[in-house]
A and B are shown apart, each in its own frame.
Chain A
Amino acid sequence: MATHASYSYDVLVIGAGGAGLRAAIEAAQAGVSVGLICKSLLGKAHTVMAEGGMAAAMAHNDDRDNWRVHFADTMRGGQYVNNWRMAELHAKEAPDRVRELEAWGAVFDRTADGRINQRNFGGHRYPRLAHVGDRTGLELIRTLQDHTVYLGVTVHMEHTVASLLVDSGRAAGALAYDRERGRFHVFAAKTLILATGGVGRAYKITSNSWEGTGDGHALAYRAGAELIDMEFIQFHPTGMVWPPSVKGILVTEGVRGEGGVLKNSKGRRFMFDDIPDNYKAQTAADAEEGWRYTQGDKNARRPPELLTRDHVARCIVREVKEGRGSPHGGVYLDIAWIKDKLPNSEEHIKRKLPSMYHQFKELADLDITTTPMEVGPTTHYVMGGVRVDADTQMSSVPGLFAAGECASGINGANRLGGNSLSDLIVFGKRAGEYAAQFARKEGAVKIDDGAVDRATKEALAPFERGAGSENPYKVQEELQETMQSLVGIVRQESEMREALTRLQTYRQRAARVGVSGHREYNGGWHTALDLLNLLTVAEAVTLSALERRESRGGHFREDCPEKVPEFGTVNIMVKESAGGMQVSRVPLPPMPDELKQVIEEQKE
């Protein structure tokens, strides 16, 4: 079967969000040839939606901050099943990565003395998030995008990778189709960097764009790589719940960082009712102290609204379940109340949270400067992903790298807000650096024409079956509903078993999916192919969640509601085997004593 064109690169980056762009920049600067494939237009990736900021211990707003505190915060937030080395590298390198963005033209909000301003966020002990109002992701992606275009990186926009190609166990390239014309392209590459983001589209209510179909997770899995921590899904506590068509769209944690409070239908600030023991010492005693914290008082402790996302999400679910929710099944998030504290509150809110003001005004016809918002949890982020070496980001498949959300390790059981954007630039850079090094060292790859033919034929199969077969949109929708209701925020064994049974039937139906029309920009066809990735991801999440018989971070089981120490020493791993998806427990790498000590010191 003929392919339209072929390309050859030293480094092929798949995905052009923050991690992919940062990787491409690093590799290009190392002097190797770089190709970049993205499913959308350049600059539209999901990174663009990140709002709050990027965490880096630069200590601009509080000089007590340093990498040790950031490291300990990240490990505590992840319930200590993080890869300690990734958490360490991240905490140490994030400040330099942020400063570098400024040198490339990023314009962060400033402190009074003209440095990069940093804001408070959940789980971070000190104000640590470099930000641009509430559109930090746009600033990040645009800065990287505009820097990349002058570096000679070849960008292939609106291309989707159908399959990775391997050459005697080593990554060798990818087969992709362009969405515009539906033609197939072969990319030979000495190294591949997956930077494909998350899996939110496996759920019905999500903050993720259509792109979050777990492509990198599924491609890596099928190429023989290992996935870990797939049971850990982050449900962001505050998504929009009304009107129905915008359900799931993110409401930034920055609202709470700026003083916004959560209330139930009785008007009670319910977050004060349940503060976990390991956070008690750092949490405000009352509303007044919490307010002072958000206004930069260094002697105040943070309000309970800024506890970790997993905890806040579960508290909201509890309020709704016990009948204290808002009319549309959420709770109230109130920033308007700060008018009691600040003279110019309306202007202040618009300046600090401009896109939130906009979003509610235009989509829900609600003015957040005068009226509380209705919010509820939304599927936001997957902590799990490709298992990689902490320093190089290489997976167990030689030459196959992963960075950003599709890689795993730094976040453990729960990611802190703001640690994602910094993760992208810290590990995107490392992936680019080590992929370039690997490419220089290794010889050329051979493309297996038979594998290309098979993968092309498989990708075109929905056209052979034609319309009148299963509708891909329908199967996708049912899969999303199943994952939402049976493998969501609160899980239990019997429901997850039921989910597995249903996933089997979706797999059979996916094999019968058919599409009509021609190959040019055919949404039905694209959905049919994305569906295969979603199925792999959904199965990995469910099997891993069944295996972890405890509750920890983003994974909560009603039938095992406590933390179990033996699970505190392992990651759950899935890998492809002849008999299907194979699940196992792998021990966490042992942490050096000096880092253990850092964690102990920060516990006070």
Chain B
Amino acid sequence: MDATFRVWRSEPGGAGAYRDYRTEVSEGMVVLDAVHRIQAEQAPDLAVRWNCKAGKCGSCSAEINGAPRLMCMTRLSTLDINEPVTIEPMRTFPLIKDLVTDVSWNFRVKKTIQPFKPRPPDAPDGTWRMAQRDIDRVQEHRKCIECFLCQDVCHVLRDHAKHEDFIGPRFLTYAAALEMHPLDTGDRVEDLKDKHNIGYCNITKCCTNVCPEHIRITDNAIIPLKERVVDRFYDPFTRLLRVFRA
């Protein structure tokens, strides 16, 4: 059986257009398989970024029929293949070529977040004690595979291009994982408010909806961090206290 894939092909200099490729499909195939087949048989110079093909590395992010997805985890059986399947690059990042975007901004943003700073060890042998129940919520955030689909779909970045001011859902979960780490002694709350502008997020939960790891980004990372910011800077009682102290 054949199906048509409408793939974004770019030209050097920025122009581009969809191109249709018809290729054979079989049971169990995912979108990335179809892209590989097109690459091997019809378009050897087609640019696609991928690694593990098992949903673990987060390299093959793209927009499939308009939805941000991992190509390796999108089975053709979940799509209507009687119609052309549209595959295009993530639109929130500058395009390099075809399906590959320049996501280096994310790596620069991470460096602006204060690193992990553990408390002194608990035991004389230099180790720590932590209860499983205290690390469950940190482990949820540490599942992140850095596919940047949440960044792709975030309105603050996608529609308002606030890349210089706002760190996006990925790095709010990163900050949450550090802030909630039982051993960490760092304090990122002021940075979150002033430097990383957590206030820009208006909790539409689009990031949560596209997360392939099913991390509850909005509920378990962003809202708790917003609460910390509010508690420290906007609580009327502490504000009053600060005025008196000053």
Measured in the bound complex, the distance between the Cα atoms of B96 and A521 in whole Å is 8
Check A359 against B131 for contact (C-beta < 8 Å).
Answer: no
A209 touches B44 (CB 8 A): no
Q: A209-B51, A359-B55 are in contact. List 9 more A-B contacts (CB 8 A).
A: A40-B57, A41-B103, A105-B184, A107-B130, A115-B127, A363-B73, A472-B44, A520-B47, A523-B46
| A42 contacts partner chain B, Cβ-Cβ < 8 Å | yes
Expressed in whole angstroms, the minimum distance between the Cβ of A471 and any Cβ of chain B is 7
* CB-CB contacts below 8 Å: B81-131 with A: 96-98, 100, 102-104, 107, 110-111, 115-116, 118, 121, 126-131
Interface residues in A68-116 (C-beta closer than 8 Å to B): 99, 102-105, 107, 109-110, 113-116
Verify A242–B53 contact, CB threshold 8 A. no
CB pair B118–A522 under 8 Å, yes or no, is: no
B30, closest chain A residue (CB)? A245
Return A512 CB to nearest CB of chain B, in Å. 15
CA distance A362 to B56 in the complex (A): 13
Q: Which of B168-220 contact A (CB under 8 A)?
A: 178, 181, 183-184
Residues of A within 8 Å of B, CB-based: how many? 70
The residue that A146 contacts in the complex, of B54, B96, B116, with Cβ under 8 A, is B116
Contact at A523–B145, with CB atoms within 8 Å?
no
- Main secondary structure, interface of B, reads loop
> Known: A44-B58, A149-B110, A364-B28. Contact between A471 and B44, CB under 8 A?
yes
User: Nearest chain A CB to B182's CB is how many angstroms away?
Assistant: 9
Q: Is the CB of A242 within 8 A of B28?
A: yes
23 A-B contact pairs sorted by A residue (CB < 8 Å): A43-B57, A48-B56, A48-B145, A99-B127, A105-B116, A110-B130, A114-B131, A149-B111, A150-B111, A180-B102, A242-B28, A243-B29, A359-B55, A363-B54, A364-B28, A365-B75, A471-B40, A471-B44, A477-B40, A515-B44, A520-B47, A522-B45, A524-B45
The answer, yes or no, to whether B20 is at the interface (CB within 8 Å) is no
A211 interface residue (CB < 8 Å to B): yes
| Inter-subunit contact A211/B54 (CB<8 Å) | no
* Chain B interface residue count, Cβ-Cβ cutoff 8 angstroms: 60
Chain B hits for A363, CB < 8 A:
28, 30, 54-55, 73, 75
B 33-75 binary contact with A (CB < 8 Å = 1; else 0): 1000001100011111111111111110000000000000101
Q: Which residue of B lies closest to A149 (CB)?
A: B111
- CA distance in complex: A249, B55 (Å): 11
6 pairs of A and B residues whose beta carbons are closest in the complex: A243-B28, A517-B45, A524-B44, A114-B129, A521-B47, A105-B116
Q: Tell me if A359 and B54 are in contact (CB < 8 A).
A: yes
Name A135's closest neighbour in chain B (CB-CB): B143
Would you call A8 an interface residue if the criterion is a C-beta within 8 Å of the partner chain's C-beta atoms? no
Bound CA–CA A363/B29 (angstroms): 9
B128 touches A102 (CB 8 A): yes
Say whether A430 faces chain B, with CB atoms less than 8 Å apart: no
A592 at the interface (CB under 8 A from B): no
Does chain A have a CB within 8 A of B138?
yes
Residue of A nearest to B143 (CB): A135
**Given the known A-B contacts A41-B103, A138-B56, A244-B26, are A516 and B118 also in contact in the complex, defined by CB atoms under 8 Å?**
no
With the chains together, A147 CA to B138 CA distance in Å?
17
A246 at the interface (CB under 8 A from B): yes
Q: Is A157 an interface residue (CB 8 A)?
A: yes
A250, CB-defined interface residue at 8 Å: yes
* B40 CB contacts on chain A under 8 angstroms: 471, 473-474, 477
B27 contacts partner chain A, Cβ-Cβ < 8 Å:
yes
- Give the complex CA separation of A362 and B47 in angstroms: 25
Taking the complex as formed, is A335 at the interface, i.e. its CB lies under 8 A from any CB of chain B? no
- Tell me the smallest distance from the CB of A52 to a CB of chain B, in Å: 13
Q: Which residues of A contact B58 (CB under 8 A)?
A: 44
Binary CB contact string for chain A from 195 to 212 against chain B (1 if under 8 A, 0 otherwise): 000000000000001110
* B129–A115 touching, CB < 8 Å: yes
Residue from the set A40, A147, A527 with the largest chain B CB neighbour count within 10 Å: A40
Which residues of the other chain, A, contact B135 by a CB distance below 8 angstroms? 107, 110
**Residues of A at under 8 Å CB distance from B?**
40-46, 48-49, 99, 102-105, 107, 109-110, 113-117, 132-133, 135, 137-139, 142, 146-147, 149-150, 155, 157, 180, 209-211, 242-246, 249-250, 355, 358-359, 362-365, 467, 471-474, 477, 515-518, 520-525, 527
Judge if B142 is at the interface, Cβ distance under 8 Å: yes
Bound Cα distance A110, B104 (Å):
35
Q: Across the interface, which residues of A come within 8 angstroms of B49, CB to CB?
A: 40-41
Contacting pair A49 B57 (CB below 8 A): yes
Cα distance A524–B48 in the bound complex, in angstroms: 11
A364 to B, closest residue via Cβ: B28
Q: State the CA gap A44–B53 with chains docked (Å).
A: 11
Residues of A within 8 A of B130 (CB): 107, 110, 114
Is B146's CB under 8 angstroms from A43's CB?
A: yes
User: Which residues from chain A contact B118 at a C-beta distance below 8 Å?
Assistant: 103, 105
> In the assembly, what is the distance between CA of A601 and CA of B221, in Å?
52
From 115 to 165 in chain B, residues with beta carbon under 8 angstroms from any chain A beta carbon are 115-116, 118, 121, 126-132, 135, 138-139, 142-143, 145-146
Chain B residues whose C-beta falls within 8 Å of the C-beta of A525 in the assembled complex: 45
**Quick one: which of A44, A109, A473 has the most chain B CB within 10 A?**
A44
Q: Name the CB-closest residue of B to A117.
A: B132
Of all chain A residues, the one with the shortest Cβ separation from B27 is A243
Report the bound CA distance from A46 to B146 in whole Å.
15
Across-interface contacts of B132 in A (CB, < 8 A): 109-110, 117
B52 touches A107 (CB 8 A): no
Interchain CB contact under 8 A, A521 and B97: yes
Q: Which of B44, B47, B73, B142 contacts A107 (CB 8 A)?
A: B142
Name the contact of A523 in the complex, choosing from B27, B44, B54 (C-beta under 8 A).
B44
Kindly state whether residue B12 has any CB partner on chain A within 8 Å.
yes
Asked if A40 and B51 make an inter-chain contact with CB atoms under 8 angstroms apart, the answer reads: yes
